[in-house]
Structures are given as structure tokens and as C-alpha cells.
Amino acid sequence: MRVAGLPTTASVLDLGAGTGKLTRLLVSEFERVVAVEPAEEMRRLLVAHCPDAVALSGTGQQIPVADASVDAVYAAQAFHWFDESAAVTEIARVLRPGGALVLMWNRPAGPWEPSTDAAERVLTERMPEDLDHIPLDLGGPHAASGWRPAVSESPFEPFTATVLPNPQTLDPDGLVAFYASMGWLADLPDEERLPLLSGVRSRLTAPEYQRLWESHVHWTRLGGKVD
């Protein structure tokens, strides 16, 4: 989570925080964490899971914090939902000079082992038909669309990028929580979402599930050298 030169006393912002997966890691590293999430139901879970963060309603295009008030902005599995041009401008507004912008996506490097096909069929039968991303991998840009926003006409330096292996092991309840954090599912009312997740859980019979992911990380600085 660290960017070179960013101290533990930094104020950081998790943009498009969802249910707070990244937020929980950030509060263990930094003194002040603001989490911005537009969906009320996801924000409610964020507050429950991560009470140490300041949770606010907002979007990538309208960030509810003051000018030059944070040292870093993180967006995990989120930037592809933003209006790119407006979000780059808005992120530059809230960052202090030299502040960091870090964009992250997890991409699958293999299937779940053992297979989760039976559980995922329950979800694919219910999910919206107009999703334009990989719906059961929490979304993310297709490789052909590029991984990073254009910064040539912005105050940001060019991006630096890396790809890191990210193996994951979950028990059945953890895997259900993984699926439950998908935006389309989190937006369902309780009377639809809870029976759906119960159906998923009933089809997960192994004690644990493993998967290898690749974490694609892209970072830059506002008006300063990228470390």
C-alpha cells in the first residue's frame, strides 16, 4: 500500500471504496483515511467493517473533500467506473502538491480450485445482462482498453506500473463475501440478495478455495517525480 515518501502520518483517500477491502488495509498503515463510496448499501457495510475510516458519499467526479487536503488517492477495482477526464481533474484538486495517485486492479491468473462453477451458476442466472466487464471477477478494464488514464494534458507525471502475484485462499464464507462485494449484487435489496447468497453458499462444499490473481498497480504523482 505504501508509495515511496508517503509517511504513516499521511492523509489518504480510498476512492470508490466499496465495502472497504482496501480501506481496512489503509487504516492499518496511515493515520487518517477517508473512504468515498456512492452506493449507500456498500457504504453501510464499509462503516461496519472499517469504523476507523471516515466514510463519505461521493464519486470519482465529485469528491467531498477540500482542495489540497490529502497526500494520496487510491482507487482499487474502481477507476474504470469513473468519467476519466473529470476524475483526473477532481483527483488533482484534492491532492496536495507531489501527492500520489495509485490505481489497482486484480485480474485472475487462473480459476478457483476446486471449481466454483455450481455456485457461480446461481449468480450468472441473476446478474444483469448489460455488464461490460468480467462480472464474477469484480470487474476491471479489459486488457485491450488500457490500464491507466491519459495524463498528458493533466498536472500528473507519467504512470509507473508493476504486476504482482496475489494468491488468495478463502473458506466458503469468505468466498461468499467476495461475491457479495460485487456492485450489482450489493445494490440488490436484502430480500433478493440474502436468498441469492444463501443459494451460493449451499453449493460451496469444499473447506477452502484457492486462486492466483495478478495485481496490476499503476502510480503517479501530482507535479512531482514518480518514485
**Average of pLDDT values for 202-207?**
98
- Residue 4 located in a structural domain: no
Do the Cβ atoms of 200 and 119 come closer than 8 Å?
yes
The CATH number of residue 65's host domain is 3.40.50.150
- Residue 59 located in a structural domain: yes
DSSP H helix total and E strand total for the chain: 7, 7
Q: What is the pLDDT of residue 142?
A: 54
Structurally, how many domains does the chain consist of? 1
- Residue 227 located in a structural domain: no
- 202 band by pLDDT with thresholds 50, 70 and 90: very high
User: In whole angstroms, how far apart are CA 201 and each of 51, 82, 137, 205?
Assistant: 27, 32, 17, 8
pLDDT digits (tens, 9 = 90+) for 110-137: 899 999 999 999 998 888 776 555 556 6
Contacts of 88 (CB under 8 A, 6+ apart): 149, 150, 151, 154, 156
- Residue 105 located in a structural domain: yes
Domain that holds residue 211: 11-221
**Average pLDDT taken over every residue of the chain:** 88
Q: What is the pLDDT of residue 115?
A: 96
- Residue 34 located in a structural domain: yes
**Average of pLDDT values for 204-210?**
98
pLDDT digits (tens, 9 = 90+) for 11-38: 999 999 998 999 999 999 999 999 999 9
Q: What is the pLDDT of residue 225?
A: 41
- Residue 93 located in a structural domain: yes
- Residue 1 located in a structural domain: no
* In the chain, % of residues over pLDDT 70: 89
pLDDT digits (tens, 9 = 90+) for 52-95: 999 999 999 999 999 999 999 999 988 988 998 899 999 999 99
Q: What is the pLDDT of residue 96?
A: 96
- Residue 226 located in a structural domain: no
